[in-house]
Amino acid sequence: MPAVKQHPDDYDDRSSGIDDEVRFIRSEDCCVCFVDIVNSTGTTSKINDSEKVRLYYGIFLNTMSAIARNFGAEIIKNVGDSLMFWFPDILSEKSFREVIECCITMIEARDQLNEKLHEEDLPIVSYRISADYGRVEVAIEKRSNTIDLFGPTVNRCSKINSLAPPNGLVIGKDLYELIQSIPLRPSLETYFLFEKMDSSEGHHVFLLRRNVLPSERLTNKMYRKRTRTILLVDDEEDILYTFKTGLISQGFNVEAFGDPLEALAHFATVAPSHYDLAILDIRMPGLNGLQLYYRLKAINRNIKILFVSALDAVPELLSILPDVKKTKDIIKKPSTIDNFLNVVNAALI
């Protein structure tokens, strides 16, 4: 996978000579993250087809890269079966929140990632994620003109990765102390917290834990579905009203939200079978459609989802989302109400 390419003129030249293979160009405080496959050597040794091995690594690395970039991260490189990425220019509470929510999204993407691997007749994957904050030395490699990172923050983040349980996240002390005063989005604070881990290696490490929701929030024995119920999320008020009106005219029960965070918080309180379909705009502030997709799937992996977008996002979505197999799963804006309803009805067959 290609690393992040930068132009050398973008940085101060602090190298000892213009012919250096690696030029160190600046120091910077940032967040560094690793995501690493658990026991990939043992897994791939059982795959006798080289093309299948490449596909196995490719699906994993490309899915993780797409999620990271979606949160504003930059990919540094893949090292064997792990991916290293970073969040430069960490300057605000929002920046630190994006780091944690990116890692949470990666964890919650596992079911969808493994569905895609299963479709290719490949083994399922487990992986560990680590993150920390601190000073790094930024370098540029002469031959590839790509960025690389060095220093204790990178080394520490790499080492604590092995302390994470499969499909878990650990963070270092420096990042933990910074995020203590930075609340996650309300919909995530309900489910996640950090606990200090005992480490025989002397590292101060904190493990992400998922809260168990009260059973009464996940089951509703009094609920009886009489009509198809649809979750509709779009931050454009006119489109939300038009789509909602059209769906109601066809006999659907529609619960519409202009705020994706409110939609997610509500989705978590109803029975898993409450919704037959979710229709999500892709470009929304706070939580975009791709991020919301992973959150909904983590709560109810069987929920059917359609996307609505004016963006040309079809190729990328097709590459990382196992549910999105046809262009008809993405409704292109602008769309007539008749076309919109035809796609919805087809999805519910």
Q: For the domain that residue 291 is a member of, what is the CATH number?
A: 3.40.50.2300
Spatial CB neighbours of 45, under 8 Å, sequence gap ≥ 6: none
199, 226: one domain: no
Which pLDDT value is given to residue 335?
Answer: 84
pLDDT in tens, 185-228: 655 555 667 888 866 566 689 988 765 544 334 333 333 344 78
- Which pLDDT score, from 0 to 100, does residue 74 have? 93
Q: Where residue 60 sits, what CATH number does that domain have? A: 3.30.70.1230
CA distance 280 to 293: 8
Q: Are residues 93 and 220 in the same domain?
A: no
Is there a single domain that holds both residue 161 and residue 282? no
Q: Which of 150, 145, 149, 148 is nearest to 6 (CA)?
A: 145
Domain boundary among 156, 175, 210: 210
- Fill in the DSSP letter of residue 272: T
Q: Are residues 137 and 204 located together in one domain of the fold? A: yes
Domain co-membership, 47 together with 164: yes
Query: At residue 212, what is the residue type?
Result: V
Contacts of 86 (CB under 8 A, 6+ apart): 30, 31, 32, 33, 73, 74, 76, 136, 149
- Which of 322, 280, 281, 328 lies closest to 302 in space, CA to CA? 322
Question: Could you list the residue range(s) of the whole structural domain that residue 287 is in?
Answer: 216-347
272 in Cβ contact with 300 (< 8 Å) = yes
- If asked whether residues 158 and 139 sit together in one domain, one would say yes
In a domain, 2, yes or no: no
Residue where a domain stops, chosen among 152, 184, 210: 210
Give the chain's length: 349
> Is residue 82 located within the same domain as residue 163?
yes
The alpha carbon dihedral of 8, 14, 20, 23 has a sign of negative
Distance CA 338, CA 349 (A): 17
What per-residue confidence (pLDDT) applies to 202?
A: 61
Give yes or no: residues 184 and 255 share one domain: no
pLDDT beneath 50: ranges in the chain? 1-16, 213-226
Alpha carbons 261 and 287: distance in angstroms, whole number: 7
Q: Are 188 and 332 in the same domain?
A: no
pLDDT at 215: 38
The first and second tokens of residue 232, run together, are 């509709």
Predicted confidence at residue 60, as pLDDT, reads 94
Same-domain check for residues 203 and 300 = no
Rg (CA), the chain: 22
Provide the number of structural domains found in the chain. 2
Instruction: Identify any residues that bridge with 309 across adjacent strands, giving them in sequence order.
Output: 332
In this prediction, residue 1 carries a pLDDT of 40
Q: Would you state the pLDDT for residue 189?
A: 54
Distances (CA, A) of 289 to 13, 43, 196, 260, 314: 41, 33, 32, 8, 13
